[in-house]
């Protein structure tokens, strides 16, 4: 085991918008902490953290990689997360188990759409963070402007703790506002920065921003406030302690800057991780529930003498080790050979090996303590979001919720030999990624795969070919449409009666149905049965019947969203009634009510942001409007314009190519799912009745 001193552990994530420089920053951290002897580069395909072939080819991060390094006397477990919105679940599940985060921003682009998404995810899990403004060497870099954007757009109290020396080509280092020294980078590798006195021409700015830092701290920290009111200058240690307290309390975001690619500004960032981000014991105990009584709250403290509790936050398939389950240990000590209990599957799991991960390399350890992130091979019945705990002291930690996929593809094996491989590959990948869903369509015999976007499914298909050796044919992407109702209907009956000699079947239920308010997408069931007209034991079967019927609507067989069903009346037969009969009757009532409630087709609407040079703004907006897009607004972004719009997903296929040709390759865009909205009638007719056979229509489900 690496350490028993929990104060010396930092579990941090590096999260940001795509292309802000997360992986490059991670690579420099590994170099300066001595994990790597040479620096890997994303653009060369040599980054340690991007170990998948697809990551190296495309220059993007797809899976969150875990790695352990040491700085000063602390062990830092780092998770490098993807920036692309299609892999946002990777960020979500990483933040769930981390104690702190480094949010990386581009000094030119500032706060971009995915930066906001990641920031909100960190807010949701109450993750303290520090900001690192990267790419200070690029043309248009403006550190203070990005700090202002973090304050304005993200609602944070972001305060510079360093100042850049120069910008763009002349960026040479940073000024430490606490020590009032400048860190000047003299060698190309940046391993030995020189500490110098601040030059006379910038000393006044440094004093002003130091004063600003103390004022901002005084607003939220009582100790600094007391010193400030007494007219006393706080010491460096007092300022550091206050920054740490308020960062952990989520009231303060210290801001650093540098250029990871040019090897500048990384050491102060590492110091900040140790100085300001929390150890496992700085945070409140993790809360869970008793598996046998969900109302009973259970706490687990980050102590070595408590029973073991761990959360499985990720499952990965390793070509050498097989199935790897990544776990965060919240309490106790785990030893090789221990047996843990999984309350979700009600099964025991024997821990044969404990692995510390170094990206895709592994180191065996004998035990691991609370606060550590480890990988456990060969766990048979543990899924993402499950809890592993001591059987004598069971607990269920808060699981993870995942968004529903928005895009579907049909896949089929090229040969009969590929058929078994395909099933195996799809099973392994859906095990690994909760936002990737596999369905077999019974009517058409097709296998469909669903995910968060085109890139997501593209990567999945690529992995099937490479890792599992499957040759697959892929259909055109289909949008994950939904069905909804537009009005309330009352007293709709579903009656199922079957007499076939001997025991028959009898189920009868009457329902009211209405749409949920404010565009809610769930399902609400209300039991309004009085006088026992339907016995109590059959009501769960009715609910199950409604839920199953929601899987396939009456327009095109798409899943149904946003309905409330009230079970108001019915009848039963003392001999012939059964759970199955009531389930079928409920399903019949649901379908009939839907037909009467004026059903409508719903489509996923994406929030799109296009960053384009000024001269192409008109073309971009015209193109978005032609795709049934609703342009919401526009803002200045460095020397370009950011156009924001809501566009149906069905109109965005092939957009990347069209945008490149319209803007000579100078614009880029991001999009993420926002909400479902009703499809205009003429478009709905074209979707539901395409110029093809009825079988083809069914195949789009």
- 389-432: pLDDT as tens digits: 988 888 888 766 677 777 888 888 888 888 888 888 888 888 77
The 10s digit of each residue's pLDDT in 155-192 is 899 999 999 988 888 888 899 999 999 888 877 777 77
Question: Does pLDDT of 246 surpass 90?
Answer: yes
Specify the pTM: 0.68
Q: Residue 501 contacts by C-beta under 8 Å, 6 or more apart in sequence? A: none
**Is 455 strand, coil or helix?**
helix
The 10s digit of each residue's pLDDT in 537-581 is 999 999 999 999 998 899 988 899 999 999 999 999 888 888 999
**pLDDT the model gives residue 90:** 62
CA dist 91 and 80 (Å) reads 9
CA dist 40 and 318 (Å) reads 22
Q: By percentage, how much of the chain surpasses pLDDT 90?
A: 30
Q: Which residues of 177-187 are buried (b: 16+ CB within 10 A; e: fewer)?
A: bbeebbbebee
**Lateral strand order in the sheet of 387-389:** 347-350, 339-342, 387-389, 309-318, 322-331, 373-377, 354-358, 361-365
**pLDDT the model gives residue 678:** 92
Average pLDDT, integer, range 100-122: 83
Q: Are 33 and 19 in contact (CB under 8 A)?
A: no
Question: Does pLDDT of 242 surpass 90?
Answer: yes
CA dist 506 and 542 (Å) reads 13
Question: Does pLDDT of 44 surpass 70?
Answer: no
CA dist 281 and 369 (Å) reads 12
Q: Are 9 and 370 in contact (CB under 8 A)?
A: no
Place of tokens 């309330």: 488
**pLDDT the model gives residue 599:** 93
DSSP 345: T
The 10s digit of each residue's pLDDT in 276-286 is 999 998 988 88
Confidence bin at 2 (pLDDT 50/70/90):
very low
Tokens found for residue 258? 């540098």
The dihedral sign for the CA sequence 101, 107, 111, 117: negative
- From the number of C-beta atoms within 10 Å of its C-beta (0-12, 13-18, 19+), residue 144 rates as middle
φ and ψ at residue 281, rounded to 5 degrees: -85, -10
**pLDDT the model gives residue 93:** 66
Q: Residue 610 contacts by C-beta under 8 Å, 6 or more apart in sequence? A: 620, 624, 642, 643, 645, 659, 667, 668, 669
- From the number of C-beta atoms within 10 Å of its C-beta (0-12, 13-18, 19+), residue 361 rates as exposed
φ and ψ at residue 521, rounded to 5 degrees: -110, 0
Half-sphere exposure of 466 (CA within 13 A, CB side): 11
DSSP secondary structure string for all residues of 612-674: E-GGGHHHHHHHHHHTT-EEEEEEEETTEEEEEEEEEGGG-TTHHHHHHHHTTT--EEEEEEE
The 10s digit of each residue's pLDDT in 475-516 is 878 888 999 999 999 999 999 998 766 678 899 999 999 999
CA dist 101 and 379 (Å) reads 29
Q: Are 653 and 454 in contact (CB under 8 A)?
A: yes
- CA torsion angle 338 342 343 346 (round to 10): -100
**pLDDT the model gives residue 89:** 64
DSSP secondary structure string for all residues of 277-327: SPPGGGSPPEEEEETTEEEEEEEE-S-TTSPPEEEEEEEEEETTTEEEEEE
- β-strand partners of 77: 11, 68
- From the number of C-beta atoms within 10 Å of its C-beta (0-12, 13-18, 19+), residue 319 rates as exposed
CA dist 456 and 87 (Å) reads 7
The full length of the chain comes to 701
- CA neighbor of 51 nearest in space, from 312, 330, 362, 309: 362
Q: Packing angle between helix 236-248 and helix 200-220, nearest 10 degrees?
A: 50
- From the number of C-beta atoms within 10 Å of its C-beta (0-12, 13-18, 19+), residue 160 rates as buried
pLDDT averaged over every residue in the chain? 83
Confidence bin at 47 (pLDDT 50/70/90):
very low
Q: Are 419 and 425 in contact (CB under 8 A)?
A: no
The 10s digit of each residue's pLDDT in 605-630 is 998 988 888 889 999 999 999 999 99
- CA neighbor of 449 nearest in space, from 419, 405, 414: 405
The 10s digit of each residue's pLDDT in 255-265 is 999 998 888 88
Confidence bin at 62 (pLDDT 50/70/90):
very low
DSSP 254: E
Q: Which stretch of DSSP H or E encloses residue 374?
A: strand 373-377
């Amino acid at each position: 085991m690496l350490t028993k001193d929990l104060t010396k552990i930092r579990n941090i994530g590096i999260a940001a918008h795509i292309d802000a420089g997360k992986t490059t920053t991670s690579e420099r951290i590994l170099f300066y902490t001595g994990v790597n002897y040479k620096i890997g580069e994303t653009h060369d395909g040599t980054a340690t953290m991007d170990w998948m072939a697809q990551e190296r080819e495309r220059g993007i991060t797809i899976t969150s990689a875990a790695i352990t390094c040491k700085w000063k006397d602390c062990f830092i477990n780092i998770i490098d997360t993807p920036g692309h919105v299609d892999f946002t679940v990777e960020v979500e599940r990483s933040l769930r188990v981390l104690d702190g985060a480094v949010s990386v921003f581009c000094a030119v682009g500032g706060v971009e759409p995915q930066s906001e998404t990641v920031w909100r995810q960190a807010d949701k899990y109450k993750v303290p963070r520090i900001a690192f403004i990267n790419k200070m060497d690029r043309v248009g870099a403006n550190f203070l402007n990005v700090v202002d954007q973090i304050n304005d757009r993200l609602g944070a109290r972001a305060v510079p703790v360093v100042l850049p020396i120069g910008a763009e080509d002349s960026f040479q280092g940073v000024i430490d506002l606490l020590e009032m020294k400048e860190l000047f980078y003299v060698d190309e590798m940046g391993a030995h920065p020189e500490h110098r006195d601040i030059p006379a021409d910038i000393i006044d700015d440094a004093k002003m921003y130091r004063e600003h830092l103390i004022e901002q701290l005084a607003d939220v920290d009582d100790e600094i406030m007391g010193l400030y009111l007494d007219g006393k200058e706080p010491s460096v240690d007092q300022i550091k302690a206050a920054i740490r307290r308020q960062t952990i309390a989520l009231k303060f975001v210290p801001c650093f800057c540098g250029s990871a690619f040019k090897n500048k500004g990384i050491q102060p960032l590492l110091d900040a991780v140790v100085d300001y981000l929390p150890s496992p014991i700085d945070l409140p105990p993790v809360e869970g529930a008793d598996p046998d009584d969900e109302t009973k709250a259970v706490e687990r403290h980050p102590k070595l003498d408590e029973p073991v509790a761990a959360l499985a936050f990720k499952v990965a398939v390793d070509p050498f080790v097989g199935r790897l389950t990544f776990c965060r240990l919240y309490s106790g000590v785990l030893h090789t050979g221990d047996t843990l209990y999984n309350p979700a599957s009600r099964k025991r799991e024997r821990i044969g090996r404990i692995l510390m991960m170094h990206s895709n390399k592994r180191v065996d350890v004998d035990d691991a303590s609370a606060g550590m992130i480890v990988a456990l091979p060969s766990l048979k019945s543990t899924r993402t979001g499950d809890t592993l705990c001591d059987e004598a002291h069971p607990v269920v930690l808060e699981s993870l919720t995942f968004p529903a996929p928005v895009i579907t593809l049909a896949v089929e094996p090229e040969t009969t030999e590929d058929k078994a491989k395909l099933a195996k590959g799809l099973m392994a990948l859906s095990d690994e990624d909760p936002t990737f869903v596999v369905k077999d369509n019974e009517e058409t015999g097709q296998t469909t795969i669903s995910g968060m976007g085109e890139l997501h499914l593209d990567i999945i298909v690529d992995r099937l070919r490479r890792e599992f050796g499957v040759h697959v044919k892929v259909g055109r992407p289909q949008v994950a449409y939904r069905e909804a109702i537009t009005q309330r209907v009352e007293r709709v009956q579903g009656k199922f009666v079957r007499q076939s000699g001997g025991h028959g079947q009898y189920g009868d239920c009457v329902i009211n149905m209405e749409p949920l308010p404010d565009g809610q997408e769930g399902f609400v069931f209300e039991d309004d049965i009085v006088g026992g007209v339907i016995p109590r034991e059959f009501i769960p079967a009715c609910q199950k019947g409604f839920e199953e019927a929601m899987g396939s609507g009456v327009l095109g067989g798409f899943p149904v969203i946003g309905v409330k069903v009230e079970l108001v009346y019915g009848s039963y037969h003392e001999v012939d009634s059964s759970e199955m009969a009531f389930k079928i009757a409920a399903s019949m009532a649901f379908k009939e009510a839907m037909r009467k409630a004026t059903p409508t087709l719903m489509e996923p609407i994406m929030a799109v942001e296009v960053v384009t040079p000024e001269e192409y703004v008109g073309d971009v907006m015209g193109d978005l409007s032609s795709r049934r897009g609703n342009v919401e607004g526009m803002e200045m972004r460095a020397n370009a314009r950011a156009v924001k719009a809501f566009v149906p997903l069905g109109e965005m296929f092939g957009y990347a190519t069209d945008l490149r040709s319209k803007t000579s390759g100078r614009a880029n865009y991001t999009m993420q799912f926002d909400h479902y909205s009703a499809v205009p009638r003429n478009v709905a007719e074209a979707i539901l009745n395409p110029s093809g056979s009825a079988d083809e229509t069914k195949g789009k489900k």
